[in-house]
Structure 1
């Protein structure tokens, strides 16, 4: 069937229900003459008369009644589906797919999954863990979570974490053997472990800011160990393999327990944290608005 006929078929059903071109045209927000022309074209395409017309009334032909009997269930299903979509626009329900780095997911999404599920039981949340820089549109995701500096300008970005500092840390045993660096320039004499971006060949440079003049510069770690797993890198530091640079919130508990010691703290200045980013704000579904509001609420209670 030619799907271009669907609007005309729906218009025919409306005229049949109302028994009047004028009333049906008013409901469809078109002129009676335009509606009449639409029905004439439909009858020509189907090669059958669907309506008997007179100056005073409109009635459905036998062929028209047969067509109505067959199309009414389908039209009812379409109306029901449209109503569900419109209802979902105002009620958080349905699936959400979020692409997130492993670190952001474990610290800013995972701790709140239970509360989100209880608050929005009709929302099915899927977190796609990806330490690369995936294209959320191409991968069919509704949004992503990355550091602000990684989000392209065309995206809508909402902060979901406080500002972040990097931290250079090592175990007490390592620092007992190798004197703690006093400036980043002392790192050349240390075993500095590397963190690789996903499956790429890029090892993260260590970024510093000179506390005396604000000058920014980087250091390339070339130690005896490299991994693309931040949890493995953290374990290596705790075991005394060498120094690592990691996000402060990821090492805070270890520093508090004394299993890691922080160095070069004044050389690590805060920067923008993680954002939930979206392709567009247009026609935003209630489920997406609910997730944004929820994560922004959690951000206010995050140190």
Structure 2
């Protein structure tokens, strides 16, 4: 069907339903003469008479009835779809895929997203665990989570978590056996639990800061290495050595006494987790709901 016929067919359907050019013209917000001209032009293009006109009423011809029998269900389907899209503004629909570390998923993403899954049953969320600086396009993800000081330029970044710091922790039994390091450089004499970064395969160099704000980076060694922070903490709890973990991850174990912290004066705070996504991205209604749910307040 030629695109220029669409408006003419809508006009035909309106006249046939109203059985009146006057009522149909008012419904379509056009003049009666313009509507009459539209129908005549359509009939001329098709080479068929579609409406029978009398002084009292208008009715479809057999050909008109046949055409309308095909058109009306199509128009109904289009109107239903448009209503569904309109309703989606109040009932967001779609899938949001986010790449993140397991720690961010456990402490920030899941606690905030779990309630909205119950509130919005048409929203689907996929959380992908990755410690690397994932390219969102190649990973087919809508957004990622990183600490605020590592978000790439050209990305929109929304804070979703409080400032954090990394704490050096160990089990009481380890400190009783090996003693307590007084400075970050003392860590080279301790058994430490390493974290291997998937970004480039290297071991994470433990980062500290002195009283003047100068960065201190220490390459530690030990028997054990993991590529997820949860197991690093688990090994520390089991007394295998010292671990450098986020303070919020360690907090319950520090409170219970299962872990003890050291070198706290060398552990500065840094910008917490941020949700990042391309500035050119046109967010869906579902994505908007997710961002608003994750946004850090206060």
- Distance across 1 between alignment mates of 2:145 and 2:109: 9
Q: TM-score normalized by structure 1?
A: 0.77
Higher alpha-carbon Rg: 2
CA change 1:43–1:156 in 2 (3 A) is farther
Q: CA deviation at 1:257?
A: 1.5
**1:117 matched residue in structure 2:** 117
1:228 aligns with 2:224: no
Once the two structures are overlaid, the 10-residue window that deviates more, 76-85 or 197-206, is 197-206
> Secondary structure of the residue that 1:145 maps to in structure 2?
strand
Cα shift at 1:158: 1.1
- The CA distance in 2 between the partners of 1:134 and 1:261, in whole Å, is 33
Q: Tell me the CA shift for residue 101 of structure 1.
A: 1.6
* SS, match of residue 136 in structure 2: coil
Shift of the 294–281 alpha-carbon distance from structure 1 to 2, 3 Å rule, reads farther
Q: Deviation at 1:282?
A: 6.7
Residue 264 to residue 284, structure 1, CA distance change in 2 (3 Å): same
Query: For the Cα contact (< 8 Å) 1:197–1:228, is it kept in 2?
Result: yes
* Aligned match of 1:13: 9
Matched, 1:292 2:268: no
**Shift in CA distance, 224/282, structure 1 to aligned 2, threshold 3 Å:** closer
Once the two structures are superposed, residues 41-97 of structure 1 have per-residue CA deviations (whole angstroms, 9 ceiling, x without a partner) of x987xx755868x9xxx9977655533322332232122112212221243344333
**What is the Cα deviation at residue 162 of structure 1?**
0.3
CA offset digits 1:268-287 (Å, max 9, x no partner): 11111111223348754443
In the alignment, does 2:206 pair up with 1:206? Answer: yes
Call closer, same or farther: CA 1:51–1:283 in 2, change over 3 Å.
farther
CA–CA distance in 1 between the matches of 2:209 and 2:94? Answer: 45
Is 1:156–1:281's contact at 8 Å kept on the other side of the alignment? no
Contact 2:188/2:219, CA 8 A, preserved across alignment: no
Matches within 5 A, 1:75-154: 75-154=75-154
1: CA distance, partners of 2:290 / 2:88: 14
Paired with 1:76 and 1:114, the residues of 2 have a C-alpha distance of: 37
Calculate the aligned-residue CA RMSD, in Å.
3.7
Residues 89 and 285, structure 1, Cα contact 8 Å, conserved in 2: no
| Closer, same or farther: CA 226–199 of 1 in aligned 2, 3 Å | farther
Q: Could you tell me how far apart the structure 2 residues matched to 1:51 and 1:208 are?
A: 83
Counterpart CA distance in 2 for 1:277 and 1:153 is 10
Deviates more, 1:112-121 or 1:201-210: 112-121
Aligned length: 285
Distance 1:228 1:183 in 2: 26
Distance 1:220 1:50 in 2: 87
Deviations 1:103-135 (A, max 9, x none): 100111223454333433443333233333333
Q: Is the 8 A contact 2:91 2:120 kept in 1?
A: no
1:147, CA displacement in angstroms?
A: 1.9
Residue 185 of structure 1: aligned partner? 185
CA drift of 1:214 comes to: 0.8
SS of corresponding position for 1:156? strand
Structure 2: give runs of 5+ residues left out of the alignment.
16-20
Task: Report if the CA contact (8 A) 2:158-2:274 is conserved.
Answer: yes
Poorly superposed stretches of 4+, deviation over 6 Å: 58-61
Q: 1:23 to 1:154 in 2, by over 3 A?
A: farther
